[in-house]
Structure 1
Amino acid sequence: MENLKMGIGRTIQYKILALYRLIYRCCYLLACMGKPVKSNKVVIPLYRQDELEGNLKAVYEEMKKTHPELQFHIIKPNNKISVKLFKEINMIAEAKIILLDDYYLPVYLINPRKETDIVQLWHAAGAFKKFGYSTVNTKFGPSSSYLDVVPIHSHYTHVFVSSENMIPYYAEAFHMQRDRIYPVGVPRIDYFSDQAFVEKTRDQILKTLSEKQRGMVKILIAPTYRAGSSSKESDLDIVEELIKTAGHLDKDKLIVFVGHPYIDHSHFEALQKTSNIIVDGQFSTNDWMLVADAFITDYSSAIFEFALFHKPLAHYVPDLEAYTKNRGLYNDLHNISDGAILRSRSALIDWINSRHTGESYDTSRMIEYNFSQTSHIAKSIVEQLFK
């Protein structure tokens, strides 16, 4: 009886959602009537952060440099089914380019104009944990019934990925043809070869540390996003694990914790009470890579970018079986990473205490598999878009 009520409730919910989509499409069509696409208009929705950074910032700066005629409209989208979403219709109706690095609901609700390029830079290197259509009907992912109403990740005209090896996975995740997926690279890693940027960022970060902290072995920890409630992939609480780990670390070890942008940072407050852990929200994970001596994650694809520094890296995954069952990985963890795979808290403690400054680590296999090129990527992307 309970299942029947839930089924009826979902049916009603999807009918309301379908009606919303119909109204939204009609409003979009009205916004397009008599208004040509503006050939110099670029719309950049910021879903993951409050200001330009990462892939969006790298491509934006290259566009500004090489195409000064462009006019940029940077917006903070609502990305939820509500009346507020209608405010963005006029903006996207006239856009020549909509530049994304994540989910953007409005373009999945409409039938975009043929003159509009919807460009997905995506925020992750490589193909690690499953997402999009690869997770349909799993505990983590969307239901096929929902996708019948809202075809997420649809209408992309260009998708840029880190290497040719990634194309099959992104074609599956975005449910799209492979010939619109370009293995150019991850534009934000251009900053790693910009010496002026590297030196400036290092100096800025080190100024935030005490003299004692600057001399410590800095272990960067950046876990992936984890869903909540009924969609959560496992019961692992990374905050609790780190608090229990901190008291067993050598005195010269400093943990730098950078939380995922989707997680409310109040969730990490308990970590700030621990003297050998700092929680940072000012600098990005990529910024901290410039000063870190080692890197630990669970299932974040940031580990592929850290591989470019040839320093020690590891996965803390005591929940590997549960995570794989409820969300899934595109490949076996041992096959896609050269990092140490830590399955217990004691293994985590031992690995951290074994680290020291100046260590070298062979990550050539990871780099070769995950990156087609590691410099001038933003330039290559902009050239591709303006052919």
Structure 2
Amino acid sequence: MKKLLVKAGSSCLRLAYHFCRLFPVQNRIVCISRQSDEAPLDFQLIANYCCARTPPITAILLPKQLRSPVTYLPEMLRQVYYIATSKAVVLDSYCIVVSLLGSSIEAPVVQIWHALGNMKKAGYTALSDSSEEGRDPRLANLLHMHEGYNAIAISSLSFSRDFAAVFNADPSIIFEAPLPRADLLTSADGRSRARKMFFDNHPDLKGKQVIVYCPTFRRSPSPDANRAIKALVGEIDYSRYALIYKPHPVDTLTIEDSRLTVLVNHDPDPLFVADYVVSDYSTVIYEAGLLNIPVFLYAYDWDSYREKRGLNIDLEHDVPTLFTQDPRLIVEAIENNDFDANAYKAFTQRNVALPAQGTCTDHLCEHILALAENR
């Protein structure tokens, strides 16, 4: 039954696409995301670049989370129209419409993904019938997951083989281009503005050293998550430190503790005010590395998580920092400033290859627009 529904849906999408192809192609690109209902920062930076370019080109941003197939249907039809009438399509996540239309799409499709660096297995390397974190391989095959890409941007060619496997793609279409957000992370002016914006929203945090805890998203939340966060909260000296908890945008875990500052999606990015970052298996560790912030890994569910999900790097040995299940050791490392900044900088550079000339935004956008010109 599911197979018949997907085939029928694919046929309808192709009919809609061919109908929309009757309209003229506009001088624009379209950026599609399922990460949130708000335009991702990378898309905003791409749009700003395209608008300021000579000659300018329009960028249409279509962010929308998939909460229900029924309510998402109008959004899919909207995507079809813009895919059919734009010069290029940019994705930062899996897009059902692109995968089902596949080679029918005449515009180049560029996948930029939504994370800096290399970390967890994803896509075709995370298929599993039994894993709580893995995708159903039969469903992935049925939906032609990650098919239809003409180019894939990654932040370092050092892990091109890993990402070719993630997308089941020919390595020849992969190119090196860190996400535009890297420009803000490496800009002194950008960081200063972001710090001011954050403290304007949270003036109570001024005057203390800021620890930001930002764990990765778990499709099946660990039963130890609540206990682990409370244990970390209990180790902090709040006369010296402020602790910010930044959950993943789609995480549903709630923590209530007056000592803890919990952020919501529309809050400014706390990384720009962080003096220390505590994470686990999240690529935020590369963003912190670009900001030269000490990073510590709180792997409270390491034994179960690595079996459920799998990673492309050996976190225990490849990341030059403290890796522990004990929050007390993390706080001691922070208090003693026990962190090898030079080793961590070299680790970040291996995973995020900043361009020798120009900005990351320039580099990525010009590659996309060069593909668009050949449409």
Q: Which TM-score bucket, shorter chain as reference? A: 0.7 to 0.9
The CA deviation string for residues 95-134 of structure 1, in whole angstroms up to 9 with x for no partner, is 2112221222211111344530212121111110111111
Native 8 Å contact 2:179 2:364 kept in 1 = no
Q: Which amino acid is 1:35 matched to?
A: F
**1:263 Cα shift?**
2.1
**1:254 Cα shift?**
1.2
Q: Which residue of 2 aligns with 1:293?
A: 275
The CA deviation string for residues 242-262 of structure 1, in whole angstroms up to 9 with x for no partner, is 223323321312111111112
Q: Which residue of 1 aligns with 2:247?
A: 259
Where do 5+ consecutive residues of structure 2 fail to align? 371-375
Native 8 Å contact 1:42 1:98 kept in 2 = yes
| Inter-partner Cα distance in structure 1 for 2:35 and 2:141 | 26
Q: Which residue of 1 aligns with 2:158?
A: 165
Native 8 Å contact 2:37 2:65 kept in 1 = no
Equivalent position to 1:376, from 332, 356, 359: 359
**1:57 Cα shift?**
2.0
Native 8 Å contact 1:25 1:111 kept in 2 = no
**1:90 Cα shift?**
1.9
| Inter-partner Cα distance in structure 1 for 2:251 and 2:69 | 20
Q: Which residue of 2 aligns with 1:122?
A: 113
| Inter-partner Cα distance in structure 1 for 2:141 and 2:209 | 51
User: Is 1:26–2:15 an aligned residue pair?
Assistant: yes
Where do 5+ consecutive residues of structure 1 fail to align? 1-11
Equivalent position to 1:151, from 141, 144, 160: 144
SS in 2 for 1:44: strand
User: Is 1:216–2:203 an aligned residue pair?
Assistant: no
Q: Which residue of 1 aligns with 2:48?
A: 61
Change (3 A) 1:372 1:247: closer
1:209-288 correspondence runs (5 A): 209-210=202-203, 213-228=205-220, 234-237=222-225, 239-251=226-238, 252-264=240-252, 267-268=253-254, 270-271=255-256, 273-284=257-268, 287-288=269-270
| Inter-partner Cα distance in structure 2 for 1:354 and 1:14 | 58
Equivalent position to 1:385, from 361, 364, 368: 368
SS in 1 for 2:242: strand
Which segment drifts farther, 108-117 or 324-333? Answer: 108-117
Q: Which amino acid is 2:259 matched to?
A: S
- Percentage identity across aligned positions? 20
**1:166 Cα shift?**
2.0
The CA deviation string for residues 173-216 of structure 1, in whole angstroms up to 9 with x for no partner, is 011011111112222110123333222211111223345x3121
**1:349 Cα shift?**
4.4
Native 8 Å contact 2:47 2:58 kept in 1 = no
Change (3 A) 1:166 1:382: same
1:347-366 correspondence runs (5 A): 347-354=329-336, 361-362=341-342, 363-366=344-347
Q: Which amino acid is 1:90 matched to?
A: Y
Change (3 A) 1:50 1:148: closer
Native 8 Å contact 1:59 1:378 kept in 2 = yes
Provide runs of 4+ in structure 1 moved above 4 Å.
Answer: 352-356
| Inter-partner Cα distance in structure 2 for 1:319 and 1:281 | 25
**1:53 Cα shift?**
3.7
Native 8 Å contact 2:245 2:262 kept in 1 = yes
Change (3 A) 1:248 1:71: closer
Q: Which residue of 2 aligns with 1:198?
A: 191
Compute the RMSD of aligned alpha carbons: 2.5
Q: Which amino acid is 1:361 matched to?
A: A
TM (normalized to structure 2)? 0.87
| Inter-partner Cα distance in structure 2 for 1:119 and 1:67 | 22
Change (3 A) 1:89 1:296: same
**1:354 Cα shift?**
4.3
TM (normalized to structure 1)? 0.84
**1:352 Cα shift?**
4.7
Change (3 A) 1:291 1:360: farther
Native 8 Å contact 2:235 2:328 kept in 1 = no
| Inter-partner Cα distance in structure 2 for 1:280 and 1:72 | 27
The CA deviation string for residues 131-156 of structure 1, in whole angstroms up to 9 with x for no partner, is 11111125122222112210112111
User: Is 1:135–2:126 an aligned residue pair?
Assistant: yes
Q: Which residue of 2 aligns with 1:37?
A: 25
Which segment drifts farther, 75-84 or 162-171? Answer: 75-84
The CA deviation string for residues 208-237 of structure 1, in whole angstroms up to 9 with x for no partner, is 3345x3121211111111103xxx6x4331
**1:50 Cα shift?**
3.5
Change (3 A) 1:209 1:355: farther
| Inter-partner Cα distance in structure 2 for 1:119 and 1:178 | 14
Change (3 A) 1:242 1:42: same
SS in 2 for 1:386: helix
